[in-house]
A and B are shown apart, each in its own frame.
Chain A
Amino acid sequence: MSGSIQDTFFEECEELLEATDEGLTAIEGGDHNPEVVNAIFRAVHSIKGGAGAFGLDDLVAFAHRFETVFDEVRSNRLDLDEKLIQLLLRSSDHLSALVEVARDGGQIDEPHHDTLLAALDEYIPEEEEDLTFEPMGLGGPAPMMDLGGLGGVPAKPQEETYRIRFQPLKEMYGTGNEPFFLFQALKDLGDLTVKLDENELPGFDAMDMDEAYLAWDLVLITKEPRSVVEAVFEFVEGLCELSIAGDGDAEAEANALAALDAMFSAPPLPEASLEAAAAAEGEAPAAPFEAPVPAPVPEAKPAAAEEKASAPKAESGKQEQRGGPKPTLRVELERVDRLINAVGELIINHSMLAQQIANLNVSDTRDVETELEGFKNLARDIQEGVMAIRAQPVKPLFQRMARIVREASAATGKTCKLVTEGENTEVDKTVIERLSDPLTHILRNAVDHGIEKPEDRESAGKVRTGEIRLSASHRSGSVCIEIRDDGAGVNRPRVKQIAIEKGLIPENAELTDGEIDNLLFAPGFSTAKEISNLSGRGVGMDVVKNAVTGLGGRINISSAPGKGSTFTIILPLTLAVMDGMVVSVADQTMVVPITSIVETMRGSDDMINSLGADGTLLSIRGNFVPICDVAGALGLYRGSDQQAGVYLLVETETGQRCALAVDDIHDQRQVVIKSLDGVCGEIPGVAAATILGDGKIAMILDPESIIAASPTAAAFDTERRMSNAS
């Protein structure tokens, strides 16, 4: 049970940390609206509250300090200057780290923790600190804590008799405290006798309805320590005259005697049991003459009427006040995925139906086709609807990235800020999850290698603070993520030199600027002179590229010396469905992703030129493009009646072009991607599979890897570089 509540806590923490980050970012941007500050205070406060419930002491202590500083800000005792904002941002990052440690285990960065605590402390006035660590209670002893023991040794439970005089002040009745309930709580502690003292009750004429006239004398025999007895009266402390005398101490004895004196000097009252006292209380409103407890009968009815009258008002007020978030529904991811699978099957089912109708050889299929078209549109609607469920705004991801940039800036001694755009762009949940690592890597790189040191920037005539712009947008069925920095740009001579040293390109290769920039993605490439702790240990940008292509996306870099670099990541909207071109190769049906196809053409013999022994080139409008036969790449053999005659011009991320030779093109359609993971191992050249209308399985090709494996393409590429060089 508490496990699941703890899960809730960590989930909630994520949201609260996001809210904190969002608020701080707004503040950093100059928005000092009190509600922004309040929202952050509440978020941090809630984290502290929840953390306390699970005994996460480090988190509580830090959140407390953080929150206290915020309290100073919201009470206008502190100005939000640049230095404080930076401290708060770093504190927010550290709070996230503490939450992570609490959730996933691991070590907190102690020195950093202490530094931040000390820095926050500087903003907290001393008396504030003292106050917050005062034990509970209004100056009285802490309840539920046994202070009666000697030298910390708990006293042996021993029965003791307490004589309690309890006389409520009129203020007590306004707080909703009821003597009767206090007596019931006392009764739980032991043997209780209650005696009502109504001596001060005036005659009916002299009675003031708002006054308190009653008092009680109680005798409690209990084994509980005095502190527990006192704790019962915690809520009414200061709202009553109270004396609690145990028979242990002399003073108490004297009090008890005085109380007894009082009792005997007054006309003796019948001793009432607790039940009797209860009955008296219960009847009190009905007979105000005898027991004038405030809130008498006549008030009761108008109150009820008022309640009715105010209810509709409250209802309408509710509508107006709720301008905020739309209602949401939390659903297990598995249920959504089940729906996605079903929709995938529906799309396959549609194409099968269409195929079978075509096979029927019916002369007039117009009516059926109209209906079929409707089916197709509905299926697409459902598919898009379901995809929208999985789609999430990139905002939380971008917010995490702001933290990465801050950390990286701090580690490198540079000053950078991250500006985000298009935070509400929605992307598939899995894409967002798997985008986190590549983005982190790119941003660290941008800070580490892209942005210059503040003094260098100044001498280059730039502002000291580097800017990294992270944006997301939808672009014709894809998502485009752009990371643009205003740093020094790619150091092309150096990149080229490294590539030559590492044998990635021939020494005399002549490359275009774009080609040099894209060398950054080459496996094993790392420009850091010494391995930087920050942007990875020898892990190059090729890992980033693999992650992006693993998502069916592409990544590109463009750079302007002295002005900065831009990484562009293009991703499919969804991982479940894609638009593909259905082709046949050596009697096999295959699908090529539309996104990688530049153009298609039928080739004639005069367009084909040979290169070396086996290689062939396709001449397109005067340009030569290496031909890569898909059949050959996949190890398929053509029958005598089959021939590659159609070419798909594709372009890789590095700008390398290649003509994929296939036998024929059939159709362009939406296909459902079925992963091959766990079905068979990785097949070079094949990305995934799909089911076509005729029920057959077709492979979805990965043009990149086909080209990479093609000797012709490689030979041509080398040749081209050589010829460029000469």
Chain B
Amino acid sequence: MKTKVLAIDDSRTIRNLLAATLEEAGFEYHCAVDGREGVDMYPDVDPDVVITDINMPNLDGFGVIEELRGHGINSKVPILVLTTESAPELKARARGAGATGWITKPFDDASLIFALKRVTGAAA
């Protein structure tokens, strides 16, 4: 079974980049355009891992983490946040909210796959 990824990002460019990399690597890719849609889609997609941007309209990345962890739907699902710069306080805040890890933009294929590997054990 393919590993299911739910990516939440308001940037079409980033969504396309993620889709290209992940689909090529054999992941099953789902995406949402903002935090609210991501949280709404979550039960239907039932992903193995969530990748979320931080700065988004409607509901930001911290909100996504809090809602997913708080819901108890699957409080253990790995959640990776996308951050543009490696601002330590952003990571610390994301982790405080319950993020599993982070992916620093711009990401290359290898580091993206490596991050997913560390939180899902899967390379695809």
Residues of A within 8 A of B (CB): 1-2, 4-5, 8-9, 11-12, 38-39, 41-42, 45-46, 48-50, 52-55, 64, 131-132, 134-139, 144, 173-178, 180-182, 184-185, 188, 231-232, 234-235, 239, 295, 299, 302-303, 306-307, 310-311, 314-315, 317-318, 321
Judge whether B13 and A181 touch: CB under 8 Å. Answer: no
Judge whether A175 and B98 touch: CB under 8 Å. Answer: yes
Task: Verify if B1 is at the interface (C-beta below 8 Å from A).
Answer: no
Chain B residues in 8 Å Cβ range of A307: 43, 71, 73-74
Report if A64-B85 is in contact (Cβ < 8 Å); known contacts: A52-B105, A310-B73.
Answer: yes
**With A and B bound together, what is the CA distance between A132 and B91 in angstroms?**
13
**With A and B bound together, what is the CA distance between A176 and B98 in angstroms?**
7
Judge whether B13 and A303 touch: CB under 8 Å. Answer: no
Judge whether B71 and A49 touch: CB under 8 Å. Answer: no
Chain B residues in 8 Å Cβ range of A310: 43, 71, 73
Judge whether A175 and B92 touch: CB under 8 Å. Answer: no
Partner of B100, one of A46, A232, A235: A235
Shortest distance between the CB of A253 and any CB in chain B (Å)? 28
Chain A residues in 8 Å Cβ range of B91: 138
| Nearest chain B residue, comparing its CB with the CB of A55 | B106
**With A and B bound together, what is the CA distance between A39 and B102 in angstroms?**
23
Report if A314-B40 is in contact (Cβ < 8 Å); known contacts: A175-B99, A176-B76, A181-B118.
Answer: yes
Judge whether A321 and B36 touch: CB under 8 Å. Answer: yes
Report if A306-B71 is in contact (Cβ < 8 Å); known contacts: A136-B86, A138-B92.
Answer: yes
Report if A53-B119 is in contact (Cβ < 8 Å); known contacts: A12-B12, A136-B86, A314-B40.
Answer: no
Chain A residues in 8 Å Cβ range of B79: 176
* Most interface-central of A12, A55, A180 (chain B CB within 10 A): A12
Chain A residues in 8 Å Cβ range of B69: 174
Q: Mark B70-107, 1 if CB is under 8 A from A, else 0.
A: 01111111110010111111011001001111101111
Judge whether B118 and A132 touch: CB under 8 Å. Answer: no
**With A and B bound together, what is the CA distance between A50 and B77 in angstroms?**
27
Judge whether A139 and B98 touch: CB under 8 Å. Answer: no
Partner of A135, one of B10, B57, B86, B107: B86
**With A and B bound together, what is the CA distance between A726 and B82 in angstroms?**
80
| Nearest chain B residue, comparing its CB with the CB of A293 | B76
**With A and B bound together, what is the CA distance between A53 and B15 in angstroms?**
12
Chain A residues in 8 Å Cβ range of B11: 12, 46, 49-50
Chain B residues in 8 Å Cβ range of A50: 11, 13-14
Task: Verify if B56 is at the interface (C-beta below 8 Å from A).
Answer: yes
Report if A178-B85 is in contact (Cβ < 8 Å); known contacts: A9-B13, A42-B10, A50-B14.
Answer: no
* Most interface-central of A1, A235, A306, A311 (chain B CB within 10 A): A235
- List 13 extra interface pairs beyond A49-B11, A235-B101, CB under 8 A: A4-B16, A46-B55, A53-B106, A136-B104, A176-B119, A181-B119, A184-B117, A231-B114, A295-B76, A303-B74, A306-B72, A310-B43, A311-B43
Chain B residues in 8 Å Cβ range of A144: 111, 114
| Nearest chain B residue, comparing its CB with the CB of A299 | B72
Near A by CB (< 8 A), chain B positions 35-86 give 36-37, 39-40, 43, 55-58, 69, 71-79, 82, 84-86
* Most interface-central of B14, B57, B123 (chain A CB within 10 A): B14
Chain A residues in 8 Å Cβ range of B114: 144, 185, 231
Report if A8-B55 is in contact (Cβ < 8 Å); known contacts: A1-B20, A64-B85.
Answer: no
**With A and B bound together, what is the CA distance between A487 and B64 in angstroms?**
53
B contacts with A: majority SS: mixed
Shortest distance between the CB of B32 and any CB in chain A (Å)? 11
Size range of the chain B interface in the assembly? 35 or more
* Most interface-central of B40, B102, B111, B115 (chain A CB within 10 A): B40
Closest 4 CB pairs of A and B: A136-B86, A235-B101, A52-B106, A181-B121
Chain A residues in 8 Å Cβ range of B101: 177, 234-235
Shortest distance between the CB of B3 and any CB in chain A (Å)? 11
Partner of B13, one of A12, A137, A139: A12
Report if A138-B71 is in contact (Cβ < 8 Å); known contacts: A49-B14, A295-B76.
Answer: no
Chain A residues in 8 Å Cβ range of B25: none
13 contacts between A and B (CB under 8 A): A8-B12, A46-B10, A49-B11, A49-B105, A50-B13, A50-B14, A132-B87, A178-B119, A184-B117, A295-B75, A315-B40, A318-B36, A321-B58
**With A and B bound together, what is the CA distance between A184 and B123 in angstroms?**
10
Chain B residues in 8 Å Cβ range of A46: 10-11, 13-14, 55
**With A and B bound together, what is the CA distance between A144 and B17 in angstroms?**
21
**With A and B bound together, what is the CA distance between A303 and B123 in angstroms?**
28
Report if A53-B73 is in contact (Cβ < 8 Å); known contacts: A41-B55, A175-B100, A314-B39.
Answer: no
Chain A residues in 8 Å Cβ range of B39: 314
Chain A residues in 8 Å Cβ range of B104: 136
**With A and B bound together, what is the CA distance between A703 and B49 in angstroms?**
68
Shortest distance between the CB of A477 and any CB in chain B (Å)? 37
Judge whether B17 and A5 touch: CB under 8 Å. Answer: yes
Chain B residues in 8 Å Cβ range of A234: 101, 118
Shortest distance between the CB of B114 and any CB in chain A (Å)? 7
Chain A residues in 8 Å Cβ range of B121: 178, 180-181, 184-185
Judge whether B57 and A42 touch: CB under 8 Å. Answer: yes
**With A and B bound together, what is the CA distance between A231 and B76 in angstroms?**
22
Shortest distance between the CB of A326 and any CB in chain B (Å)? 14
Judge whether A134 and B76 touch: CB under 8 Å. Answer: no
Judge whether B117 and A181 touch: CB under 8 Å. Answer: yes
Shortest distance between the CB of A160 and any CB in chain B (Å)? 20
**With A and B bound together, what is the CA distance between A176 and B75 in angstroms?**
8
**With A and B bound together, what is the CA distance between A454 and B74 in angstroms?**
64
**With A and B bound together, what is the CA distance between A303 and B77 in angstroms?**
13
Judge whether A176 and B20 touch: CB under 8 Å. Answer: no
Report if A303-B73 is in contact (Cβ < 8 Å); known contacts: A180-B121, A318-B36.
Answer: yes
**With A and B bound together, what is the CA distance between A177 and B118 in angstroms?**
8
* Most interface-central of B36, B78, B79, B121 (chain A CB within 10 A): B121
Chain A residues in 8 Å Cβ range of B95: 175, 239
Chain A residues in 8 Å Cβ range of B87: 131-132, 134
**With A and B bound together, what is the CA distance between A49 and B88 in angstroms?**
17
Shortest distance between the CB of A479 and any CB in chain B (Å)? 31
**With A and B bound together, what is the CA distance between A177 and B121 in angstroms?**
10
Shortest distance between the CB of B64 and any CB in chain A (Å)? 13
Shortest distance between the CB of A46 and any CB in chain B (Å)? 4
**With A and B bound together, what is the CA distance between A144 and B104 in angstroms?**
12
Chain A residues in 8 Å Cβ range of B106: 49, 52-55
Shortest distance between the CB of B106 and any CB in chain A (Å)? 4
